[in-house]
């Protein structure tokens, strides 16, 4: 374990407040209070507020690379199943990390910190590479059509998912799901969105306009 319990408490408090108020909006005093600790502990353990943000990012990003690689090399899955598994993985990850998802959205708009921007760029690059290889495989096997823009397809996957999750309230109201419990609604939204995206992707990968 890289971080102690105390450090993880601070990281989680920071994640929550960065998500709710933004990097500039959340003060180190807010974060320390949320983590039930002293202000100076942030500098003591992480060096600075910005380094703390980097720790928040690193914590959520480790492992996702290996997971993606494993998916690509999984022999038991067809190319179509790999794409579907990719959708499941994305929606699952964004759903299970709502705070971090908000931070990511905010920072990708225009990141102040070059370090963070580079991390985001790295993840984008790796994701694209995997999608690209899966799609190419599928095309060579004759399962997918020829004209597929992986950049736009990836943007559709991430953009739609984020938009839905950030406007979950709107969706809930429009579908009269307000009596449903929060947990049930989250599960329902996740399943609906996943199957929606799979339908869209099937069309994108096979339907000749």
Partner DNA sequence: TTGTTTTATTCAAACGTTTGTTTGAACTTT
Partner DNA sequence: AAAGTTCAAACAAACGTTTGAATAAAACAA
The binding site for a second copy (CB under 8 A) comprises: 19-25, 102, 105-106, 108-110, 112, 121, 124, 128, 149-152, 155-156, 158-164, 166-167, 170-171, 174-175, 192-193, 196, 199-200, 202-204, 207, 209
Smallest distance from the beta carbon of 41 to DNA, in angstroms? 5
Is residue 91 a contact partner of residue 156, using CB atoms and an 8 Å limit?
no
Smallest distance from the beta carbon of 109 to DNA, in angstroms? 18
Cα Rg of the chain (Å, integer): 19
Q: Which does residue 118 touch among a second copy, DNA, none (CB within 5 to 8 A, set by kind)?
A: none
Euclidean distance between CA atoms 125 and 122, whole angstroms: 5
Smallest distance from the beta carbon of 6 to DNA, in angstroms? 5
Q: Report how far apart, in Å, the C-alpha atoms of 42 and of each of 8, 38, 113 are.
A: 11, 8, 18
Q: Where are the alpha helices (DSSP H) in the chain?
A: 5-21, 28-34, 40-46, 49-61, 64-73, 79-96, 98-109, 114-140, 150-166, 168-174, 182-206
Nearer to DNA, 38 or 112 (CB): 38
Q: Which does residue 179 touch among DNA, a second copy, none (CB within 5 to 8 A, set by kind)?
A: none
Is residue 84 a contact partner of residue 42, using CB atoms and an 8 Å limit?
no
Smallest distance from the beta carbon of 75 to a second copy, in angstroms? 28
Residue 23: its H or E element: none
Euclidean distance between CA atoms 154 and 163, whole angstroms: 14
Is residue 47 a contact partner of residue 73, using CB atoms and an 8 Å limit?
no
Nearer to a second copy, 7 or 161 (CB): 161
Q: Which does residue 42 touch among DNA, a second copy, none (CB within 5 to 8 A, set by kind)?
A: DNA
Nearer to DNA, 49 or 186 (CB): 49
Smallest distance from the beta carbon of 58 to a second copy, in angstroms? 21
Euclidean distance between CA atoms 161 and 167, whole angstroms: 10
Q: Which does residue 128 touch among DNA, a second copy, none (CB within 5 to 8 A, set by kind)?
A: a second copy
Nearer to a second copy, 37 or 50 (CB): 50
Can you give the binding site for DNA, defined by CB under 7 A? 4, 6, 24, 26-30, 37-44, 47-50
């Amino acid at each position: 374990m890289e971080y102690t319990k105390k450090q993880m408490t601070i990281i989680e408090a920071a994640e929550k407040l960065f998500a709710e108020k933004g990097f500039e909006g959340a003060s180190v005093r807010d974060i320390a209070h949320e983590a039930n600790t002293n202000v100076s502990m942030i500098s003591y353990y992480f060096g600075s507020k910005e380094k703390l943000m980097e720790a928040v990012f690193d914590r959520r990003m480790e492992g996702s690379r290996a997971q993606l690689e494993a998916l690509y090399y999984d022999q038991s899955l067809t190319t179509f199943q790999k794409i579907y598994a990719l959708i499941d993985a994305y929606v699952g990850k964004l759903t299970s990390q709502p705070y971090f998802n908000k931070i990511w959205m905010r920072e990708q708009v225009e990141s102040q910190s070059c370090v963070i921007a580079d991390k985001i760029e790295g993840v984008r690059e790796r994701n694209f590479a995997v999608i690209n290889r899966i799609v190419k495989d599928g095309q060579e096997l004759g399962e997918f059509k020829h004209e597929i823009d992986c950049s736009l397809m990836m943007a559709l996957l991430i953009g739609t998912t984020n938009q839905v999750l950030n406007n979950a309230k709107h969706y809930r109201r429009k579908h009269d799901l307000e009596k449903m419990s929060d947990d049930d609604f989250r599960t329902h939204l996740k399943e609906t969105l996943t199957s929606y995206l799979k339908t869209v992707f099937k069309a994108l990968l096979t339907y000749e306009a």
